[in-house]
Structure 1
């Protein structure tokens, strides 16, 4: 996987992403509900990482709910925008494939539609890293596009050139990978959106 290319693409789209309001939660009551339930499970239990935080809106939503949360993103421009938009919160550059976190140190970890570019051979290792980062009883929350196969894009967000592959997953496949990593799925919430359904899965470290 070419992380440098992915980083460059997200640096390139970051400002347009914010201008278009991509990922904002104001008109997404069911997504807010999933995040609120997650917050209730992790609040007061320790730090939480939002891995692939983008420009920070989900990190900020969790912080407003009293969660001790930190945002991590591969794109320096996304991190710059997140820091500018939410100056009271912590955002750092980092990759889901190399999390700089101590084993067993987190109460929660989020992959909110931030892992779907990862090749199918890489995702099991990332889920394994999530499991190691979580304290016993800690909770992971992940969001994915539902389907089969891959989507290849050469532009995004109204004409910005990119070189993206989106890997579609069936929820049953994701649950199998989570279990193999030591995370027990507890909740699956599916959204019947177009052109592809979406799914949020909460899984707990035993």
Structure 2
């Protein structure tokens, strides 16, 4: 199957800088207590439900996947960059890592108890994102949890804005706009955080925690 051009371009861009990226973001939650707190909360919510796998989509070199594993989750990583996955497998041989896009995991409906998409939606053209969110809904079991992180705009709603990401063009999403797409996909928002830029951030950072409703809700 022919993949969208943006996937090929994104794959090539991250393959080219994989080793540098892995070294630069060896601890993606260092000095970010709010971000780390949300990841920890996500893990706790997953652990309170039935057992099942969690997918770290756009896992890069696997650092966040390993942190999620340390929190007691049955987690695997997936990334479209073969170079990133090679680094992840080398660094964390005890964990599973797959070369895959977010919408081509080959899993049955309701397989996952949780999904983390940590800045992995930012390179998708705006028109492609609703399909990704629909796929997240399909993959999650009822009651499953979703955690998203992305750069946001100063306005809470409106259209996404492209920016010159250091690897390849990316998009900042107004938080309300992203939340509305997720709601349209059938997911229920549990919490959100929009924080000011940190020392190494250029923009506001947004985090959305959502769940797939159960049949009794």
The two structures share one fold, judged by TM-score above 0.5: yes
- Structural mapping, 1:132-171, within 5 Å: 132-147=138-153, 148-153=160-165, 156=166, 162=167, 164-171=168-175
Q: CA deviation at 1:151?
A: 1.0
Q: Are residues 22 and 65 of structure 1, via their aligned partners in 2, closer, same or farther at CA, if it must alter by over 3 Å?
A: closer
| Corresponding residue pairs, total | 198
| Corresponding residue number in structure 2 for 1:159 | none
Deviations 1:138-158 (A, max 9, x none): 0111111101411135xx3xx
Q: Which residue of 51, 54, 61 maps to 1:45? A: 51
Q: CA deviation at 1:27?
A: 2.2
Are the aligned partners of 1:99 and 1:129 in contact in 2 as well (CA < 8 Å)? no
SS of structure 2 residue aligned to 1:49:
strand
Deviations 1:72-108 (A, max 9, x none): 0000010011111111111110001323211111100
SS of structure 2 residue aligned to 1:38:
helix
| Runs of 4+ off more than 6 Å | none
| Corresponding residue number in structure 1 for 2:182 | 178
Q: Which residue of 186, 199, 203 maps to 1:196? A: 203
Question: CA–CA distance in 1 between the matches of 2:138 and 2:27?
Answer: 28
Question: CA–CA distance in 2 between the matches of 1:53 and 1:99?
Answer: 13
Question: CA–CA distance in 2 between the matches of 1:185 and 1:23?
Answer: 27
TM-score normalised by the chain length of structure 1: 0.92
Q: Which runs of 5+ in 2 are unaligned?
A: 154-159
Q: CA deviation at 1:168?
A: 1.0
Asked whether 1:31 is paired with 2:35, we answer yes
SS of structure 2 residue aligned to 1:132:
helix
SS of structure 2 residue aligned to 1:121:
helix
Structure with bigger strand share is: 1
Q: Root-mean-square deviation (CA), in Å? A: 1.4
Asked whether 1:102 is paired with 2:114, we answer no
